[in-house]
Structures are given as structure tokens and as C-alpha cells.
């Protein structure tokens, strides 16, 4: 059966610090795709799911907080790889809790197989779920999970 009656969704994909360097350094940990390539794959996956994906990256915590605030009323859900701010930022966690938009946390690497300081996420308790360790597939699986969640509420 065609899904032609599905409500179109708008999803914000947020990328945190240093993720603009993807594809240029450390391909062994983070893969060889650039952020632009990941964003294009997210758009394509979104198209299949009838969801429009808007991507944004910043190295600045306050800009990410402002972007999360601005998401309220504009997007139905947030897909976030907060990078190193995952492990440090109460401000990002509070912003996600404040806008109360369903949020999925993703990581390219498996943060639990890495240094101890990466094992704790401030985002996880305010996210509906977390996907970690599958490279670019973490983003695509996260988007699928977020859209499925939004269509089920
Ligand atoms: O695995 C992930 O997706 C991380 O969120 C990536 C963060 C790291 O701090 C988290 O613990 C796990 C780091 C992103 C840095 O990205 C780079 C990309 C290319 C070259 C250097 C860094």
C-alpha cells in the first residue's frame, strides 16, 4: 500500500564540535565520509521516510543551544550527535529537555568501547534513545527510529 497520506515531518539533524572535520582526519575511528556526504544520505533516507531533514553543525555550545531553542515549533524531532559535548554539556541537555522535542542521540563510534570519559552521556536521559557504534548507519538508524517514534505518538 502507498504511504501517500503520511504527515510530512521536519527533522533537525544537529552535529556538534569537530564533526566538520569528518572525512579529513581519523578515518579509522570516524569513517571516510564527509559531513556533507552524511547529510546527503540523511536527506535521501528522509525522503524515503517522507521526512525533510535539515542539518546544522557548530563547534560552539551556545550556538547549538540556540539552535535547539529555535527548533521548537519548526521541527517535530531532533537527531543529534553532540560530539564531545555529549560528555560535558548540561546546557545541551537542559535545552533538549526545555523544548521537549523527541530526540535521538547518535554516535559514529561505540562510545562504550572507548575511554571511560566517553561512557557518560548528559544527553541520554533526555533522549528517547541512543545509537552508537555503527558509523554513518548510526545516523540512518537513528533517523528511522525517530520517524517511527513520531509516527506512533
Ligand atoms: O562517535 C561519535 O560520533 C562521537 O560523538 C564523536 C566525537 C567524540 O568526542 C564522541 O566521544 C563520540 C568526536 C567528533 C570528532 O570528529 C572528528 C572527525 C574527524 C577528525 C577528528 C575528529
Q: Give 19 Cα–ligand 1 centroid separation in angstroms.
A: 6
Q: Is 85 a catalytic residue?
A: no
Tens-place pLDDT, residues 11-63: 999 999 999 999 988 888 999 999 999 999 999 999 999 999 999 999 999 99
Atom of ligand 1 nearest to the CA of 19: 16
Sorted by where each starts, the structural domains of the chain and their CATH numbers stand as 9-152 (3.40.50.9100)
Secondary structure of residue 45 in the 3-state scheme: helix
Q: Which of 123, 29, 34, 31 is nearest to 81 (CA)?
A: 123
Residue to mutate, 79, 107, 119, ligand 1, most ligand atoms under 8 Å from C-beta: 107
Q: Give 150 Cα–ligand 1 centroid separation in angstroms.
A: 27
Tens-place pLDDT, residues 117-149: 999 999 999 999 999 999 999 999 999 999 999
The reported pLDDT for the residue numbered 25 is 80
The reported pLDDT for the residue numbered 6 is 83
CB-ligand 1 contact for 86 (6 Å cutoff) = yes
Q: Give 85 Cα–ligand 1 centroid separation in angstroms.
A: 10
Q: Which of 109, 96, 106 is nearest to 31 (CA)?
A: 109
The reported pLDDT for the residue numbered 2 is 53
Amino acid at each position: 500500500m502507498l504511504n501517500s497520506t503520511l504527515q510530512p515531518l521536519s527533522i533537525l539533524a544537529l552535529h556538534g564540535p569537530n564533526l566538520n572535520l569528518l572525512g579529513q582526519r581519523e578515518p579509522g575511528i570516524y569513517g571516510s565520509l564527509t559531513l556533507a556526504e552524511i547529510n546527503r544520505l540523511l536527506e535521501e533516507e528522509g525522503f524515503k521516510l517522507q521526512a525533510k531533514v535539515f542539518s546544522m553543525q557548530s563547534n560552539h555550545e551556545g550556538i547549538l543551544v540556540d539552535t535547539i531553542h529555535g527548533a521548537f515549533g519548526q521541527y517535530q524531532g531532533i537527531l543529534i550527535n553532540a560530539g564531545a559535548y555529549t560528555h560535558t554539556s548540561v546546557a545541551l541537555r537542559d535545552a533538549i529537555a526545555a523544548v521537549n522535542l523527541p530526540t535521538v542521540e547518535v554516535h559514529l563510534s561505540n562510545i562504550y568501547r572507548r575511554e571511560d570519559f566517553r561512557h557518560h552521556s548528559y544527553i541520554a536521559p533526555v533522549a528517547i534513545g541512543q545509537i552508537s557504534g555503527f558509523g554513518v548507519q548510526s545516523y540512518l538508524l537513528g533517523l528511522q527510529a525517530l520517524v517511527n517514534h513520531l509516527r506512533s505518538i
